[in-house]
């Protein structure tokens, strides 16, 4: 069981730190003292516990004997979205028996049930293979490596993380090796895998291998009911390099399946909607692609219900795991469509303005006058251009002592063109002192020539402080190109 740390635990924890190397593997440079005393731990923990953002936990058996210990803390004072595990240790006489995994699983459940965090991370030294394998087994994945200069030498530290995505009924978490039996229970059903393009699982060992090698992607999650935390399906964002639907880092493909006993209860749309939020808000995606094979009407209905829009159909699509060809349908959700849909569902049309907010923030990030040379200055005006695909491109004005200068809007448009896009959706400019103003004649001329026949529908932010927007067609009602 998991309980709050008690003062009497400190002496036992110290007895588990038998060498200086073990001390630094456990606590890095937090103490820098060996041997460690109970008073050292108490004097470190006590003021942090009073902050309300530090939670030392102890793991015991049914008789109350201490088996392990770790701490949970908020690393940033003003951010409750992420917590960090630390000081993870198990009684040395009990290591290798699964107690570490069980303790961490209880810790993950504690965060899910009691804290608002959507992410857990931790650090482990590269020379601590046993601990690293334990963290991997419960679902943590590496995201960074760095060097730590310690009194005992320079050690490489591996930072690992897991996301915790929650809905009213569901927890979406990383797959764990201990999920193998639950995975097999549902993946062996011939009504589940084949319709999605993979054969039924034949054994628990096969399911365990799938967890290690297939469901181990950076954004692969087990779908669990909050009531028991057991895996009943999977959902994943397949990132660039792991999907053939896109080659862009700001786009991904979604895939999913659900155990048959849970069909018809609205679970899959609930999971998909949360993954869309995660994709656009947390992962910075601009597009989420998704597909289904002809005949998979349940998947088609989920995608329609969640707002995906049809894109194309392909015949004779290879399904290698089934050794056959099928007809495949592809749908898409853009960030703009998701924002609009989210606003409509919430009954709050103000959320639509988030697009302009994102553009303003992007332009603001590059605003700032700079003297490049005695003859060139830049950055006193900045602009953001949003393409039809939903991506935002920025530019700044460049002023010279001759006619070689360029406006911020044109610079942003050239940035868009350089990146292979040619249709503009919206334009926002931040003039000096953040005043108001419309694009100059040269900028309008470029937009007209770039999009003849379509330029009139481009939205231009005239006054951001008042939300005043005009169509380019209103600013240029009778242009020569017409």
SS3 state of residue 243: coil
Q: Among residues 313, 347, 381, which one ends one of the domains? A: 347
- The stretch 20-44 carries a mean pLDDT of 93
Partners of 70 in beta bridges: 57
| 32 vs 234: which has the higher pLDDT | 234
pLDDT of residue 42: 94
In a domain, 87, yes or no: yes
pLDDT of residue 259: 97
Domain match, 172 and 313 both: yes
Query: Looking at the predicted structure, is the pLDDT value of residue 350 above 60?
Result: no
Which helix (H) or strand (E) covers residue 311, if one does?
strand 309-319
- The stretch 202-215 carries a mean pLDDT of 95
Domain match, 253 and 343 both: yes
For the chain, how many structural domains are there in total? 3
Domain match, 143 and 224 both: no
Domain match, 144 and 193 both: no
In a domain, 481, yes or no: no
The pLDDT-based confidence of 434 (bands split at 50, 70, 90) is low
Tokens 């470029």 correspond to 446
Query: Looking at the predicted structure, is the pLDDT value of residue 11 above 70?
Result: yes
Sign of CA dihedral 335, 338, 342, 343: positive
- The whole-angstrom separation of Cα 351 and Cα 123 is 37
Q: Which two tokens stand for residue 433?
A: 């002192």
Domain match, 412 and 393 both: yes
Tokens 């005009």 correspond to 470
The pLDDT-based confidence of 264 (bands split at 50, 70, 90) is very high
Partners of 170 in beta bridges: 225
pLDDT 10s digits, 57-85: 999 999 999 999 999 999 988 889 899 99
For the chain, what percent of residues have pLDDT higher than 90?
73
Contact 417, 434 (CB under 8 A): no
Q: Give Dmax over CA atoms of the chain in angstroms.
A: 87
CATH number at residue 116: 3.40.630.30
Domain match, 289 and 375 both: no
- The DSSP string of 360-426 is HHHHHHH---EE-SSSEEEEEEEEEEEETTS-EEEEEEEEESSTT-B-HHHHHHHHHHHTT---EEE
- The pTM (predicted TM-score) of the whole model is 0.67
Q: Among residues 162, 185, 216, which one ends one of the domains? A: 162
CATH number at residue 448: 3.40.140.10
Q: Among residues 162, 187, 203, which one ends one of the domains? A: 162
Q: Domain of 422?
A: 354-475
In a domain, 241, yes or no: yes
pLDDT of residue 347: 63
- The stretch 372-389 carries a mean pLDDT of 93
pLDDT 10s digits, 301-339: 999 999 999 999 999 999 999 999 999 999 999 987 887
Q: Which two tokens stand for residue 303?
A: 């995608």
pLDDT 10s digits, 358-375: 898 899 889 988 899 999
Query: Looking at the predicted structure, is the pLDDT value of residue 437 above 80?
Result: no
pLDDT of residue 349: 52
pLDDT of residue 227: 87
CA neighbor of 299 nearest in space, from 280, 326, 335, 281:
326
Domain match, 8 and 129 both: yes
- The whole-angstrom separation of Cα 195 and Cα 299 is 9
In a domain, 243, yes or no: yes
């Amino acid at each position: 069981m998991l309980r709050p740390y008690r003062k009497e635990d400190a002496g036992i924890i110290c007895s588990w730190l038998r060498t200086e190397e073990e001390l630094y593997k456990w606590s890095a440079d937090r103490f820098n003292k060996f041997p460690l005393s109970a008073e050292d731990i108490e004097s470190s923990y006590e003021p942090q516990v009073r902050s309300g953002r530090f939670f030392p936990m102890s793991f015991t058996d049914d008789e109350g004997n201490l088996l392990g210990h770790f701490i949970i803390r908020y690393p940033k004072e003003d951010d409750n979205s992420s917590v960090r595990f630390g000081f993870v240790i198990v009684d040395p006489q009990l290591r290798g028996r699964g107690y570490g995994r069980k303790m961490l699983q209880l810790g993950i459940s504690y965060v899910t049930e009691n804290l608002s965090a959507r992410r857990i991370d931790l650090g482990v030294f590269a020379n601590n293979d046993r601990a690293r394998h334990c963290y991997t087994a419960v679902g943590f994945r590496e995201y960074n490596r760095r060097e730590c200069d310690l009194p005992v030498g320079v050690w490489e530290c591996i930072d690992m993380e897991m996301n915790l995505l929650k809905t009213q009924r569901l927890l979406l978490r990383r797959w764990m090796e201990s999920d193998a039996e639950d995975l097999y229970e549902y993946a062996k059903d011939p009504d589940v895998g084949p319709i999605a393009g993979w054969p039924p699982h034949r054994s628990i060992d096969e399911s365990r291998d799938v967890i290690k090698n297939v469901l181990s992607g950076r954004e692969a999650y087990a779908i669990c009911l909050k009531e028991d935390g057991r895996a009943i399906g999977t959902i994943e964002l397949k990132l660039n390099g792991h999907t053939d639907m896109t080659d862009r880092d700001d786009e991904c493909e979604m895939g999913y399946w659900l155990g048959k006993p849970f069909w018809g209860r609205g679970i899959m749309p609930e999971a998909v909607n949360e993954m869309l939020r995660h994709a656009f808000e947390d992962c910075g995606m601009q597009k989420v692609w998704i597909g289904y094979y002809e005949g998979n009407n349940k998947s088609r209905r989920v995608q329609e219900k969640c707002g995906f829009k049809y894109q194309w159909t392909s015949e004779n699509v290879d399904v290698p795991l089934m050794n056959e060809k099928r007809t495949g349908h592809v749908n898409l959700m853009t960030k703009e469509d998701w924002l609009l849909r989210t606003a409509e569902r919430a009954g709050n049309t103000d959320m639509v303005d988030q697009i302009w907010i994102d553009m303003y923030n992007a332009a603001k990030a590059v605003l700032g006058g700079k003297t490049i040379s005695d003859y060139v200055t830049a950055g006193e005006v900045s602009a953001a251009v949003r393409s039809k695909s939903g991506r935002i491109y920025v530019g700044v004005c460049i002023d010279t002592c001759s006619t070689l200068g360029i406006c911020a809007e044109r610079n942003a448009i050239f940035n868009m063109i350089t990146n292979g896009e040619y249709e503009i959706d919206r334009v926002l400019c931040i003039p000096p002192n953040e005043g108001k103003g419309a694009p100059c004649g040269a900028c309008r001329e470029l937009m007209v020539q770039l999009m003849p026949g379509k330029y009139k529908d481009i939205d231009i932010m005239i006054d951001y402080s008042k939300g005043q927007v005009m169509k380019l067609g209103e600013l240029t009602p009778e242009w020569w190109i017409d």
